[in-house]
């Protein structure tokens, strides 16, 4: 099916946050990412735009209705893409089709306190996916979960990890059984800390760390010990989150 110039212009607008919010749609680009959507959540895909050779090779019958599939040229794909070099396929997705409610179960939920770098946010979602965490809370001031760089950085985790966009107080309302932990350099050793079965871990802003007001809500501050000859002042937010998640996983396994 052919695609109009107005449609191309509209798709291009979705690379801007205010239009994603207005229309409640977002874009996923690239061969691997689009194939993952088709494999795991084809119902989320509203429309598919791709080069004819890609469609012939990768599109299973019945996954997407024929009237929502657009055979486009490389030039057209480039016009709707947010990448410098368009990559064979682009999909339009429904924001509401992604998991957005964190299940009430044991595990470590990550709270992002103004994590503004899309790459960091995407990496943290990927970490949550790796460790099978219940979900991630994107606090006020954090990057948009539908930002193209966030989506690309997740390597498909955006399809599986529940993300709630809310503040910590709202999330905890009616949830008195969660322990609140904060990741900070001045705290107990994460590798020897007896983690609770059900907790929220606050990951602070890349430059300013955890907001002072959030510390008043915490039950414990956990830290990653620096090596004897370590010189770095701090760790990248996503790296720190990954290390503490590994410590939580190790403690959980040792208890079994």
pLDDT at 19: 97
pLDDT at 189: 96
pLDDT at 86: 81
- d(Cα 184, Cα 188) in Å, to the nearest integer? 9
Tell me, what CATH number does 42's domain have?
3.30.1330.30
pLDDT at 229: 75
Of the residues 42, 67, 97, the one at which a domain ends: 97
pLDDT at 232: 82
- d(Cα 33, Cα 18) in Å, to the nearest integer? 23
- Tens of pLDDT, residues 53-62: 999 998 877 7
pLDDT at 83: 86
Ranges under pLDDT 50 in the chain: none
CB 137 within 8 A of CB 103: no
Question: Quick one: 47 and 69 in the same domain?
Answer: yes
CB 161 within 8 A of CB 34: no
Is the dihedral angle over the CA atoms 188, 190, 194, 199 positive or is it negative? Answer: positive
Question: Quick one: 10 and 91 in the same domain?
Answer: yes
Question: Quick one: 136 and 241 in the same domain?
Answer: yes
- Tens of pLDDT, residues 105-131: 999 999 999 999 999 999 999 999 999
Of the residues 97, 118, 147, the one at which a domain ends: 97
- d(Cα 111, Cα 94) in Å, to the nearest integer? 24
Question: Quick one: 123 and 89 in the same domain?
Answer: no
- Whether residue 41 is contained in a domain is answered as yes
Identify the CA nearest to 203 among candidates 254, 151, 128, 129. Answer: 128
Q: Using alpha carbons only, give the angle 121, 47, 164 rounded to the nearest 5 degrees.
A: 30
pLDDT at 30: 93
179-189/220-223 β-pairing? parallel
Question: Quick one: 62 and 134 in the same domain?
Answer: no
Question: Quick one: 173 and 154 in the same domain?
Answer: yes
- d(Cα 59, Cα 84) in Å, to the nearest integer? 25
pLDDT at 170: 95
Identify the CA nearest to 131 among candidates 238, 221, 19. Answer: 238
Q: Which domain holds residue 15?
A: 5-97
For 28, the 3-state DSSP assignment is: strand
pLDDT at 1: 64
């Amino acid at each position: 099916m052919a695609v109009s110039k107005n449609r191309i212009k509209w798709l291009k607008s979705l690379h801007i946050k205010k239009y994603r919010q207005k229309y409640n749609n977002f874009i996923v680009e690239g061969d691997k990412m689009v194939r993952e959507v088709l494999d795991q959540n084809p119902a989320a895909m509203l429309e598919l735009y791709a080069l004819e050779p890609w469609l012939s090779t990768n599109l299973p019958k019945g996954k997407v209705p024929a009237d929502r599939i657009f055979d486009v040229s490389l030039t057209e794909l480039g016009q709707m893409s947010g990448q410098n070099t368009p990559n064979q396929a682009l999909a339009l997705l429904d924001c509401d089709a992604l998991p957005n409610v964190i299940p009430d179960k044991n595990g470590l939920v990550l709270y992002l306190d103004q994590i503004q770098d899309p790459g960091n946010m995407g990496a943290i979602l990927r970490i949550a996916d790796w460790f099978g965490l219940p979900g991630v809370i994107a606090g006020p001031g954090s990057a948009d979960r539908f930002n193209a760089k966030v989506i690309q950085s997740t390597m498909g985790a955006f399809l599986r990890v529940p993300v709630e966009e809310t503040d910590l107080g709202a999330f905890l309302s009616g949830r008195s059984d969660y322990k609140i932990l904060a990741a900070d350099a001045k705290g107990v050793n994460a590798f020897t800390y007896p983690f609770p079965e059900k907790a929220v871990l606050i990951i602070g802003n890349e430059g300013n760390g955890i907001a002072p007001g959030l510390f008043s809500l915490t039950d414990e501050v956990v830290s990653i010990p620096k090596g004897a000859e370590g010189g770095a002042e701090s760790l990248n937010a996503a790296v720190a989150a990954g290390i503490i998640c590994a410590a939580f996983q190790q403690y959980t396994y040792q208890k079994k």
